Chains A and B, each alone.
Chain A
Amino acid sequence: MSIVIQNLSKRFGGKVVLQNFSWTVDGPQVLMGPSGCGKTTLLRILLGLETPDTGTVTGVTTPAAVFQEDRLCPQLTALDNLVLTGHGLTRAQAERELRALGFTGAELALPAARLSGGQKRRAALLRALLCQDAQTLLLDEPFTGMDAELVAQAAAAVVRLAGSRPAILVTHDSAAAELLGWPVRRLTPAQT
Chain B
Amino acid sequence: MISTTGPKGWQRLAVLAFWLAVWQLAAMTLGHGGLFLATPWQALQALARLLPTAEFWQRIAFSALRILAGFALAVAGGLLLGAGSARWQGLRLLLEPLMQLIRAMPVASFVILALLWVRGANLSVVVSFTHVLPVVYAGVLAGIADTDAQLLEMARVYRLPLAARLRYIWLPGIFPSFCESCIAAMGMCWKSGVSAEVIGLPDHSVGDALYRAKITLSTPDVFAWTLVIVLLSALLSAAATRGLRAAKRRLCGEVRA
Query: Residues on A close to B: CB < 8 A?
Result: 47-49, 62-65, 67, 69, 71, 73-76, 80-81, 83-85, 87, 89-91, 127, 131, 133
Contact = CB atoms under 8 A, between A and B. Distances in A.
A47 B159 CA distance: 11
A64 B168 contact: no
A48 B158 CA distance: 12
B94 interface: no
Interface of B: 150-151, 153-154, 156-160, 164, 168-169, 172, 252-255, 257
A71 B148 CA distance: 9
A82 to B, nearest CB: 9
A20 B172 CA distance: 42
Given A73-B172, A75-B172, A84 B160 contact: yes
Contacts of A69: 150
B252 A75 contact: yes
Nearest to A94: B257
B255 A71 contact: no
Nearest to A93: B257
The interface residues of chain A, by DSSP majority, are classed as loop
23 contacts: A48-B156, A49-B156, A64-B158, A65-B154, A65-B157, A67-B154, A71-B151, A71-B153, A73-B168, A74-B172, A75-B168, A75-B252, A76-B255, A80-B254, A80-B255, A81-B255, A85-B154, A85-B160, A87-B158, A87-B159, A91-B257, A131-B158, A133-B159
The interface residues of chain B, by DSSP majority, are classed as helix
Among the interface residues B153, B154, B172, B253, which one has the most CB atoms of the partner chain A within 10 A? B154
Among the interface residues A47, A69, A73, A133, which one has the most CB atoms of the partner chain B within 10 A? A73
A131 B157 CA distance: 11
Contact of B157 (A47, A74, A75, A89): A47
Contacts of A63: 157
Contacts of B156: 48-49
A48 to B, nearest CB: 8
Given A83-B255, A84-B255, A90-B257, A73 B151 contact: yes
Contact of B150 (A71, A81, A87): A71
B169 A73 contact: yes
